[in-house]
Amino acid sequence: MKLLITCFQWTAVALANELKILWYQIFDNFSSGMYINWKMEDIYKINLNSRIANKVYLNVGEKIVKNFDQLFEFVQNIDRKKFIRKWHKVSISTNIFQSQINSNKSTQSIVNKAILKKLTWWDWHWLSDPQKEPISILVQIINDKCSIFVNTSWESLHNRWYRKETGEAPLKENLAASLIRMCGRHFKTPLLDPMCWSGTICIEAAMIAKNIAPGLQRNFAFETFEDFDQNKFDEIKKELESKIFEWKYQITWYDIDPKVLELAKNNAKRAGVLDTITFEQRNIKDLERQNDYIVCNPPYGKRLKDDDIKSLYENLIRIYSKNSKGCFISSSEFADRMVWYDFKIKNLNNNDEMVKLYIKK
């Protein structure tokens, strides 16, 4: 059997490097994820450790299916009780490509019926409880080969525990971690975010520097599985907590708005990195620092007037020209006009918005 680990498109290289550092061998990868072989404790470790992944899916069965009767029989024979308790609702998504079964809606309906076929009235009563967290299942049918995956993460792994408050258009936590990895920043080198908003970039950088596992303070779907080993899970968490570093690091964030700085400080405090980051109320126009890794998520043009955003990007280019490393995300036409000579550009998706990642060469 195998695990499917998903990520944002174009962050697969960062995820692959992360998994290799964690001593996992990847046997197949694509633009938004990859597969690895697994043991039960690997599910625990990857969910707890991965800064880049979106979700970790467990493959619970594979078979060639060419019609809905075969699909129904295949799914019904999977031992659902190992992964789905009677109190769970079930959410089904599909991915179908070049197969005789080609209807996503019908596939979802058939799989749902097969899973619920043997339930009693009392089980159905529990499944209708809106307070219970659903278990999500991914049905993948490619060239008639059907693979059933159970989501072991529950909500996406980008949901850490610290971000109770956000600014406008917040950057997802795992995408922020990807930026730091992709721009090549080492944790001992100075890092600056001149427009901190929710503070996500600096918090993720500080968590990397301090070796704080991003999943330590959240819950996972695998904790409800029949063969979940609580003692082993606690042992892994305890080991991760023992490896947290307590050194000081050069991580700084600026913002012109004192309310935004206070919001970011609260998030940093919950993340356990408040003592690791220097906070300053400062306008980007006054910024003269050099030799930092500059990583930021500037406004894309929807939150500022044209004149303001033009001035902002002029200042961004000025400070990036003085710093040898860094990156930023944008969909602004001003970035397209001004950043062309010293950056490599990648397309990304952030909160369902197509944006570009500019990495300083």
164/328 Cα distance (integer angstroms): 24
Per-residue pLDDT band for 316 (boundaries 50, 70, 90) equals confident
214/172 Cα distance (integer angstroms): 13
Structure tokens that stand for 252 in this block:
């700084």
Sorted by where each begins, the domain ranges of the chain are: 2-151, 173-211+221-360
DSSP string, 13-66: HHHHHHHHHTT--EEEEETTEEEEE--HHHHHHHHHH-SS-SEEEEEEEEEE--
What share of the chain in percent tops pLDDT 70? 89
Q: What are phi and psi of 254, to 5 degrees?
A: -115, 150
Q: What are phi and psi of 56, to 5 degrees?
A: -115, 120
* Radius of gyration of the chain measured on its C-alpha atoms: 23
How many CB atoms lie under 10 A from the CB of residue 347?
11
277/127 Cα distance (integer angstroms): 45
Instruction: Record the pTM.
Output: 0.90
Q: Per CATH, the architecture of 2-151 is what?
A: 2-Layer Sandwich (3.30)
Nearest to 328 by CA among 194, 207, 203: 194
Nearest to 58 by CA among 136, 116, 115, 159: 136
- pLDDT digit string, tens, across residues 256-272: 989 989 999 999 999 99
Q: What residues does 35 pair with on adjacent strands?
A: 4, 28
Q: How far apart are the first and last CA of the chain?
A: 40
Higher confidence at residue 104 or residue 302?
104
Which has the minimum average pLDDT: 37-51, 81-95, 172-186, 282-296?
Answer: 81-95
Scored b (16 or more CB within 10 A) or e, 123-141 reads: eeeebeeeeeebbbbbbbb
- pLDDT digit string, tens, across residues 64-116: 999 999 999 999 998 887 887 666 778 899 999 999 999 999 999 999 888 87
CATH fold for the domain made of 173-211+221-360: Rossmann fold (3.40.50)
What does the pLDDT read at residue 325? Answer: 85
56/80 Cα distance (integer angstroms): 18
Of the CA atoms within 13 Å of residue 117, those in its CB half-sphere come to: 15
What does the pLDDT read at residue 127? Answer: 52
How many CB atoms lie under 10 A from the CB of residue 116?
15
